[in-house]
Structures are given as C-alpha cells and as structure tokens.
Structure 1
Amino acid sequence: MKKSPAAPSAPGTRRFGVQACTYRVLPFLVTAALLTGCTAVAGAAESTGTSGTSASATAAVAVDTSTTAAEVLAANQQTHDDATDYEWDDADVVAITLDGDGASIDTETEDSPSEDTGAVTVSGSTVTITAAGTYELSGTLDDGQIVVASAGEGTVRLILNGVEVSNSTGAALVVSEADEAMIVLADGSSNSLSDTDSYAEDADANAALYSAADLTITGTGSLDVTGNGNDGITSTDGLIINSGTVTVTAVDDGIRGKDYVVVDGGTVTVTAGGDGLKSDNAEDVTRGYISLTGGTIDVTAAGDGMQAVTDVVLSGADVTVRSGGGHTATGADDVSAKGLKSGVVTVVDGGTLSVDAADDALHSDGTVRIASGEVTLAAGDDGVHADTALDIIGGSTTVTTSYEGLESTAISIGDGTVSVTASDDGLNASSGSTTTAQGGGGGMDSDGGETITITGGSTVIDAGGDGFDSNGSATMSGGTLVVNGPTNDGNGALDVNGTFTMTGGTLVAAGSAGMAVSPETGSGQTFVAISLDSVQDAGSTVQLVDGSGDVVMAFESIKDFQSVVLSSDELTDGETYTVYVGGSASGEIADGVYADGDYSAATNATTVTAGVAATGTMGGGGGGPR
C-alpha cells in the first residue's frame, strides 16, 4: 500500500528527497522594465541556440521592485512535481536483472505488475516496460536498451541500482510513452548510460537518456550519462533533478527539458559540445524556462552555459558556468557562447553564481534582475546585458573582467554591492540605436531615452572607456558611486548625453580631463568638478578642504587621473574649497573614498567652487553607443 506523503516512512517504504512544489499557473510570463513604478511592457524576445533553431515569446506582466524569483516562476507553467511520486512500498517493486545481452524478471514479487499484466518483456537485449509501477534494475546491458512504453495513467518509476547500459544503435534508456517517469538512483549505487555515436536526422529518441514524458531524477546514488551522438539527457516535456549525483557528457546539449528544467538539489555536472542546460519550448510563453532552487551545478559548454526561451531563475543553487572556452577565448563568432541566457527574464534571487563566458556572462533578450545572492562574472563581451532593463536591488555582483560591464537600455541600482571592471564602458545605458555626434558635449549628443538610476547600494567601477555612460539621462539619489575612469582623453569617467540629476548619495568620479562631465547645476545636491594642471599618478590622494581647514572628502585613485568630480551632502553649493594632492586619507567609507585626511605634507593644487560644471578640454560628452 502506498504511503501518504504526510505519513512517516514505515518499514519497507522508501522516500527520496521530497520537495513540495509551490508554483502556481498564471496566464502570463513576467517581463518588462525592472524599474520602480514601471508599467507593463509587452514585447517579443528571440533566442537562438547552437542548433540554429529560433524561438520567440511574448510577455505582458511588469516586473517591479516587489518581484521575486517565486513570483516570476508563479507566472509559468506548474511543474509536474508531486510528493506522492517519491514514495512506494517495497512489496510492489519488480526486480529486473540485466545480464549482459539480456535480462531476467523476478515474477515472485508480491503484487508484481509483470506477474499480473505482463508489463515487462525481454526481447534480446531490449527490456520493455508497459505499465505504471516501480521497477528495480541492476546489472549490465552491453549493447541494449531499456524502453518505457506505458499508455496508462500513473508514474513509471525505475530504481537504478548498479545499472550499466550501452547502445551502439540508439538511446540507452527511452521513455517513449508514460503519464510520468521517475528515475531513482538507489543509495550508494553507481549507474551509467551511453548511446550511439550517430543518429538519423528524423530519429525520435536522440539522447542517451530520452523521455517523451515528464521526467524526474532523484535518489542518493550517482548517474553518469554519455551522449555520444547528440544530447545527454532530454525530456520533450518537463525535467526535474531533485537529488543525486548526475554527471553528463554530450557532444551537443547536456541536459534539455523542452517545457522546463528544474534543479532542486543534488550535484549536477555537465560537459557539453553545445549548450549545457537548455529549455526550448517556444510555443507557450509559460514554458521554456530554467529554475535552479538548490544543489550544486557545474557546467562547461562550448555553446551557452544555460539557455532558456523564456526565463532563467536562480534562487538557491550554487552554480558555476564556463561557456565557449571562457572570457579569453577567441574566434567562433557564429556560435552563441553566453553564460546564462534568457529570452524574456533572468532573475538571481539567492544562491551563488560564477560565470566565465566567451560572450556575455549574464544575458537576457528582455530583462535581468539581481535581488540577492553572490554573483561573480568574467566575460569576453558584457558582464551583464539586458536588452530592456537591468535592475540590481541586493546581493553582491562582481564583474572581474569584461568588454563592457553592465549594459541595458535602462540600468537601475537600488541596493547591494556592485564591482565592475571593463576594458570599455563600465555602466552603459544604450539601446544600440542612439546617434551620437563625435566630440561635442553638453547637448551635441542626442538623448535616446536610455536611463541610469542609482538610489542605493555601493557601486565601484574600473573602466578603460567611459566609466558611467548613459546615452540618455542619469539620476542619483542615494548610495555610493565610485568611478575609476579612463586614462585617455577620448572617454570620460562620466558621460551623460542628456541630464545628470544628483539629489543624494556619494559620488566620486576620476579619470582623464578631455571629456569631463559633471551633474546638472542646481539639481538638488551640489558637486565640485576638479581639473588639475597635469596627470596625477595612480595611488595619489586628492583631498577637498573647506574654508575652516577641515577635510570634507578624500580620494585615492587606483589609476592615473587629471579630473575628479565629487558630490555628497557634506558640500555646500557656492562655497569655495581648496584641493590638495598628496598626504594621507583615513576613515574609508567606500573603496578609495575617505571621510578625513592629513594634508600637512600635501601640495595645494587648486581651488574649486561647488556647483560649477566641469569643462573638458575636448568639450565633454562623447562616447556614444557601440
């Protein structure tokens, strides 16, 4: 008798890693601008994988500062996860022993489905199961196949207890038909599946482990899957990995669940010649998503590390991804090699994420939201790229190396810590369509409607190009922003085509003097714009001293610089300050930013008046979209 999920496990009853599903079905898929108070935005997103197939999805629900990973998932199709699937009675288990080129069935098992209905048949080295029930397999098939073809209702549960199956002509394990299928990795067991090295183009089952039904993998044993001819594990419906140690090596995609891929626990390691984890249902906007709620996941992929037509949601797993050979790789421009890629929305709301990608590390054709967790990114192109909007409201986000650090039409930082290192722009608000006049400044560049909004958190930038670049406008009302900008006069620490409104927070931006830009005069919180007579060496300290001789702010640059813009609520509009270079700083309030200092041995460099705009030697501005 099957035990209720609420009942304690009794002798003869096994239970593996039950995780109750709390998702709810809603008629929409979440996407839109990730900005406070934004309105719903409907649009199309296209996702193209290494196979060349293209898919689109449309969405119509706004994402605002209250949106969590759970809320994003709630808008998607409910998974097939059911607590009752994880329990059964030993008395109902049918034992199947694989013996090299065939198999034998224990027909003495009490209440055996095979005894009553003939649900297990053996034809040569092919074992076929045709009814729901629980089957325990052990042993080896040297060149054979396990087939599940159950037309009735109920779950077909396969307990793998020391199973090794290889097949030179097709898949090793095929679920061609079932209401649901579950693979249980028995305690302490090691299991392996490997397939042919070539499939016909019209082959239905084209993975070492292939399921045409919803599939769950659970248990505490291990499973090694080798996809010699195509994918490693494929479900044309939904796929859940609940627990166990699952290792996949595949010449194309590693793990693919058409409707969804959900990892709730266990240890998952994927090495793929195509994409690592993939969900590619493009026909239903509530499907085609990847959810990572627990466990440890390590992906190495020649293509995208993870690719979803709709959403990628990380809310508790520890994830490591290397795609396309990592950020130092060159060539293969015709292959998408992004770390995490979504067609609609990517959300990080817990867990850890480490990505080393040849292309963008974190990418969405729609929106990206980082709410909590620890994110470390290395990218050959953008650290984070979102076509529509990028919102960071918590957690730790570190871009260790990139071409451009954070890029989107709308960038918003409300909380958390952000550290960006980029060879070009650090933060770049760009739609890719803004027309920019070369040189020029203060209005010669057009405002394309892009935005950067900083309301809180701590953001530190080290950029070889523009440090903080909006091809539209920018606002800062809180938090801390430190920009270690460019050393060449063709770029600026700050570059805003439209207006830069400063009403709160602490701003320090140092870099070259050629295109120096400052916030709008009279915008609410004043600033000072310092232009020095000569380039100062990295490590130099700049100290701003008021009329009473007190240090108001001090900054120690990590790069050569000639221009510095400072803003805080400690400054008084219209007041004149003395600038010293040298001495020592103390009371660090952010990376390189200090509340006090000793300028007794410093050089009196210049004086500045709060609220007087910066004037770059090349007219300011510049640095249009790439």
Structure 2
Amino acid sequence: MKRQVLAAMAIIVALSIGTVGCSKLSSGLGQAAATTQEQSSTTETGTTDDTMFTERDLDSTYDEASATKVQLSDAGSTAEGEGVTVEGNVIRITEEGTYLLSGTLSDGQIQVEVEDTVKVQIVLDGVSISNASNAPIYIKQADKVFVTLAEGSENTLKVTGEFVQTDDNNVDGAIFSKEDLTLNGQGSLTIQDAYGHGIVSKDDLAITSGSYTIDSAKQGLSGKNSVRIADGKIRIQSDTDGIHSENTENTSLGFVYIEGGEIQISAADDGIKGTQKIQIVGGTVEVTSSTEGMESALIDISGGKVDVTSTDDGLNATDGSTSSQGGFGGDAAQDVSIRISGGVTSVDASGDGLDSNGAIEVSGGEVYVSGPTNDGNGGLDYAGEAVVTGGTVVVTGSSGMVQNFGSSSTQGSILLNVGNQEAGSAITVKDQNGNEIASFTAKKAYSSVVISAEGLEQGSTYTVTAGSGSTEVTLDTLIYGEGSQQPGGRGGNMGQQPGGNGGPGSMGGQRPQDGQSTNQ
C-alpha cells in the first residue's frame, strides 16, 4: 500500500510540472522518500526485528527521474545532476541524495564525503570498478549510506594490488565505510579483493536483500559494531574469517545477527565470529569449511537451518580469556554459553562439536553433531553446566572426552559407548512400542553417542541401535551416563565411565575400561 501511495504521489507531481514522460519509479524510495525521517519497521511477514533494521534498510526502491545520474568511463565520466564532482577517475559525492551509477572504471573510486547528518543512496546499475591500491567505494563521512543493486543488474568491484593509504583512515576493503552501511536491492554484486576485506563498516553493516559473491584475502563481511543480515544470497570465500564483528572499545557491541537469507561461507579461519554475540533466528547458514565454524561469547540459535563443517571446534562459546579454556581443568566463564531453542543445527567438527567455556542450554529445535574421531576432543565440551529441557539432540564422536547433559536437565538424555562404528551408520532410539523417538546418520566414524529427545522419560525402557549394535536402556535416572575422563584431557567435571547412573553404558552390556569402548 505504501509503495502504491508513493507511486501515485510521484505521478501527480510529475503531471503538475509536465514531466510525466521523464519520470520512472524504479527499484527505489525516490528522492522525496530518501529525505524522510528513517523509521523502524517490520516486514509483511512480521518477522523482521525492528530493533535491527529500519524501514529504509528494508526498502530498496528509488526514483530514477530525480536521481543524479553518473556514467562511469575512464578519463571521461559524466554526471547529470547535482552533488557530484568528477576528477579523473575519482567520483566524489558531496551532497545528500540518490545517485544512479553505471559504466566502468579500470582504476577508479567512488568517494562519499557529506555532512555527518546526511544520508546518501548509491544505486549500482551495471557498474564495474577496479582499483590497484584503494577501495573502489570509499565512504569517508555521512550519517548513513545505502548501496542499492538495481533490479537485474550485475556489478563488480575489484582490488588488484596492495592498499596504499591516502589519508588518516586505514582503508582495507573493496567497500570501505567509516559510517553505517546498508546494502540492498534486486541485483548482484561480485567483489574480489586480493589483499584486503570484502565489505567493511567501522559502524553497523547491514544486508537486507540482493545477491553477493565475495572472494577476499581477509574478512568477507566486517562490521565493527555489528553485522546484520535480513535477507539476500551471500557467498563468501575468505582467507581469514567469513563474517566478523569486533569492537574492542565497547564490549556490548561486536555482534552478528542473521534473520534470513541464504549464506554460504568457506573460510580459512572462523566461519562467523562475533566477539559479543552470534544470533541466528532464521535463514540458511552453511559454513562449508573453516577452522572454527562459529565463535563468540554467546551463540544463540532460535531458528533457521545451520550447517557447520570445521577442522577444529564447530560452535565455540568463549570470551577470549585465557583463564577459561573450557572442559577439563578450566573454570567456567560467566556470560558465556551456547543456547539453542529452535531451528535445525548440524555440526561436523574434527575438534569439539559444541564447545562452551561456560554453559550449554538446549530447549528446542534439532541438533545433530558428528564430532571428533580422536579422544582428545568431544562432541559436547563444557566448563559450566549443560542443560537440556526440550528439542532433539544427537551427538556422535570419540569416547575419550565424552560428556552428557547435567542433572539440572528436565528432558531425558542417554550417553552410551557403542564400539567402533563406521561413518554413515545410523543411530536410532525407539520406545517400548517401537515408535521412533530420534534418529541420525553420522558423517564420520564414532564410538560414543549422546541422545536427548522428547519422550525420553525416567523409568521407561528404550532400544538404542547404533550401526551394527543394539541395546536396551532403562532410564533409572533422567540422565543416563555421566561421561569419562582421560588424563590430560579437558573433560571438566566428568565422573565415572559411560553407564553411570543406572546403565551398562556400552553396547552388549560390558563396561568400557580406561575410557575405551567395547564392540559386541
């Protein structure tokens, strides 16, 4: 309705000045809307958090008729309208407004430097800009800048050489902004940065729509205060972190918030890192390769689909202090936790699967972990307390460092040593009537399982099948099996071998010796 009203108003104004034939409402709020006060809003589905995104963040429309048009061309760029100066291959935006860009610069830059109370919208409509030593788009000063991808457009930004600083700012990204930055639209943007980051904001960085392919030597998306994603298709190939937010001056900032979209990350270091918090409420997040999949003081997953592959920890909750290293011999860190209340989370980790230097809390959703094959790590690893009150959790891995959920849990949990099972073998739990309560197919070989699901009740008997083995388990206590402890490991407060608290703890009923499994 709002867009229809804006369009009608634009037509009425155009008729009154006799310029109907020149006015085209295309993919944007328009100049009049660009100057209106920015307000918080929700999407039509009502799911968008209005504390994270404003109405203008989410609306990528613009009025082509009133926009200043810039045609890029090496040594011959032109501007039709106010607020732009052209100096060789440097295009400077100096006034509030909407700027529609098209064309190519083989070694150029778009600069934005306006008053710090002013908002600017840059529309990319078939733009290709390379720069040998600096950012193709450099935002020096503004209140906020919106980079909008015109519908159906294909745009490219490329940094080909090492960065050379031209002022007091340490410019190190293909898009570099000192101010709040939002990207949206219905087009695509490809970024290649052989020496720096992909997109950088020294304030808040938001993406609400559009398609992005980023290949960077450093972080793909970097927001000092936050990185916020409402929607869009994002592909990141990074030689460091895929998505990163860190503020060393204000520890209440430095967070990543993901509400929707399709995100795929291949990172040499962390897939996603937010020093204060990583919050995922929706969308699809796939970390196809990483050292650690996600790292933050708080990792909070309440919706969406999360799939993480890592050579070290899958999800790692840490405050970065050396006094709390998690697990065996470490002190539990305050305000550090992994919280999962919804969605589907899958982890394939060579290190710890879910690793918290504080607590682990699962109250809903589905969690599946293919954990480590070596006994120096565990599928669950925590220094504080692990509590399960709902949802489905299946964790496979080695048996040397395995931990179960703790006694404060209100939902049943079973820990078993299951012998040496092959990758691709299935784990199932059925009740006495043969009803399946939980199932999972492990991606790697494993010798222990932790299973918690709705329907696991104290006093009831269940059949657990893992690969070639099967056993009956009676939950004499709600938490069946306390874990095992290996000398020198990081097992935290682990007591007896799996099978404590009322169960044999291994397939076939033999108690494992010295933390090792038996295969019957």
- TM class, shorter-chain normalised? 0.7 to 0.9
CA distance in 2, matches of 1:438, 1:311: 31
2:506 corresponds to 1:618: no
Equivalent AA in structure 2 for residue 272 of structure 1: V
Question: What do residues 455-482 of structure 1 show as CA deviations (whole Å, max 9, x unaligned)?
Answer: 1110000001010011111211110000
Question: What do residues 229-268 of structure 1 show as CA deviations (whole Å, max 9, x unaligned)?
Answer: xx52222236533252111011121112223442223232
- Structure 2 CA distance for partners of 1:544 and 1:309, relative to 1, 3 Å: same
Q: How far 1:276 sits from its partner (Å)?
A: 4.7
2:17 corresponds to 1:67: no
CA distance in 2, matches of 1:388, 1:376: 22
Residue aligning to 1:594:
none
2:235 corresponds to 1:354: yes
1:17 aligned residue (17, 26, 44)? 26
Provide the TM-score with structure 2 as the length reference: 0.75
CA distance in 2, matches of 1:479, 1:24: 41
CA distance in 1, matches of 2:488, 2:38: 49
Residue aligning to 1:234:
111
- Structure 2 CA distance for partners of 1:174 and 1:502, relative to 1, 3 Å: same
Q: Aligned runs of 1:158-197 on 2, under 5 Å?
A: 160=71, 164-166=73-75, 180-181=83-84, 195=88
Q: How far 1:605 sits from its partner (Å)?
A: 5.1
Secondary structure class of the residue paired with 1:572: coil
Q: Aligned runs of 1:25-64 on 2, under 5 Å?
A: none
Equivalent AA in structure 1 for residue 191 of structure 2: V
2:10 corresponds to 1:5: yes
Q: How far 1:289 sits from its partner (Å)?
A: 2.3
CA distance in 2, matches of 1:23, 1:525: 54
- Structure 2 CA distance for partners of 1:360 and 1:481, relative to 1, 3 Å: same
CA distance in 2, matches of 1:343, 1:604: 51
1:253 aligned residue (113, 122, 135)? 135
2:376 corresponds to 1:490: yes
Higher Cα radius of gyration: 1
Q: How far 1:547 sits from its partner (Å)?
A: 4.3
Residue aligning to 1:560:
445
Secondary structure class of the residue paired with 2:54: helix
- Structure 2 CA distance for partners of 1:194 and 1:525, relative to 1, 3 Å: same
- Structure 2 CA distance for partners of 1:248 and 1:530, relative to 1, 3 Å: same
Whether the 8 Å CA contact 1:288–1:310 is kept in 2: the answer is yes
Equivalent AA in structure 1 for residue 480 of structure 2: V
Residue aligning to 1:590:
none
Residue aligning to 1:87:
65
Whether the 8 Å CA contact 2:39–2:55 is kept in 1: the answer is no
- Structure 2 CA distance for partners of 1:501 and 1:619, relative to 1, 3 Å: farther
Whether the 8 Å CA contact 1:261–1:279 is kept in 2: the answer is no
Residue aligning to 1:367:
255
Equivalent AA in structure 1 for residue 364 of structure 2: G
Whether the 8 Å CA contact 2:437–2:454 is kept in 1: the answer is no
Residue aligning to 2:360:
474
Q: Aligned runs of 1:44-443 on 2, under 5 Å?
A: 67-70=51-54, 83=63, 86-87=64-65, 157=68, 160=71, 164-166=73-75, 180-181=83-84, 195=88, 208-214=90-96, 216-218=98-100, 222-227=102-107, 232-237=109-114, 239-251=120-132, 252-258=134-140, 259=142, 260-266=144-150, 267-273=154-160, 274=163, 275-281=172-178, 287-302=179-194, 303-324=196-217, 337-365=218-246, 366-436=254-324, 440=328
CA distance in 1, matches of 2:274, 2:228: 11
Question: What do residues 52-101 of structure 1 show as CA deviations (whole Å, max 9, x unaligned)?
Answer: xxxxxxxxxxxx96534226959xxx99x985xx437xxxxxxxxxxxxx
Whether the 8 Å CA contact 1:17–1:218 is kept in 2: the answer is no
CA distance in 1, matches of 2:242, 2:130: 22
2:490 corresponds to 1:603: no
CA distance in 2, matches of 1:550, 1:164: 68
CA distance in 2, matches of 1:448, 1:620: 24
Equivalent AA in structure 2 for residue 17 of structure 1: S
Kindly tell me the number of residue pairs found equivalent between the two proteins: 441
Residue aligning to 2:515:
none
1:459 aligned residue (345, 362, 379)? 345
Equivalent AA in structure 1 for residue 187 of structure 2: G
Q: How far 1:451 sits from its partner (Å)?
A: 1.3
Structure with higher RCO (Cα < 8 A, 6+ apart): 1
Question: What do residues 338-378 of structure 1 show as CA deviations (whole Å, max 9, x unaligned)?
Answer: 00000111111011111111111111111110001111111
Equivalent AA in structure 2 for residue 278 of structure 1: I
- Structure 2 CA distance for partners of 1:345 and 1:294, relative to 1, 3 Å: farther
CA distance in 2, matches of 1:439, 1:371: 31
Whether the 8 Å CA contact 2:327–2:357 is kept in 1: the answer is no
Equivalent AA in structure 1 for residue 184 of structure 2: L
Secondary structure class of the residue paired with 1:538: coil
Provide the TM-score with structure 1 as the length reference: 0.63
More strand by share: 1
CA distance in 1, matches of 2:407, 2:487: 17
2:390 aligned residue (504, 509, 532)? 504
CA distance in 2, matches of 1:211, 1:518: 59
Q: How far 1:271 sits from its partner (Å)?
A: 0.8
Q: How far 1:18 sits from its partner (Å)?
A: 6.2
- Structure 2 CA distance for partners of 1:241 and 1:606, relative to 1, 3 Å: same
Q: How far 1:426 sits from its partner (Å)?
A: 0.6
Whether the 8 Å CA contact 1:398–1:420 is kept in 2: the answer is yes
Equivalent AA in structure 1 for residue 323 of structure 2: T
Equivalent AA in structure 1 for residue 454 of structure 2: D
Q: How far 1:158 sits from its partner (Å)?
A: 5.5
Q: How far 1:218 sits from its partner (Å)?
A: 1.8
- Structure 2 CA distance for partners of 1:523 and 1:159, relative to 1, 3 Å: closer
Whether the 8 Å CA contact 1:208–1:226 is kept in 2: the answer is no
Q: How far 1:578 sits from its partner (Å)?
A: 3.9
Unaligned 5+ segments in structure 1 are 29-63, 89-154, 183-192, 196-206, 282-286, 325-336, 583-601
Question: What do residues 531-577 of structure 1 show as CA deviations (whole Å, max 9, x unaligned)?
Answer: 12x32111222333444555543332110101100001121124343
- Structure 2 CA distance for partners of 1:174 and 1:544, relative to 1, 3 Å: closer
Unaligned 5+ segments in structure 2 are 1-7, 41-47, 164-171, 247-253, 493-520
CA distance in 2, matches of 1:247, 1:194: 18
- Structure 2 CA distance for partners of 1:67 and 1:434, relative to 1, 3 Å: farther
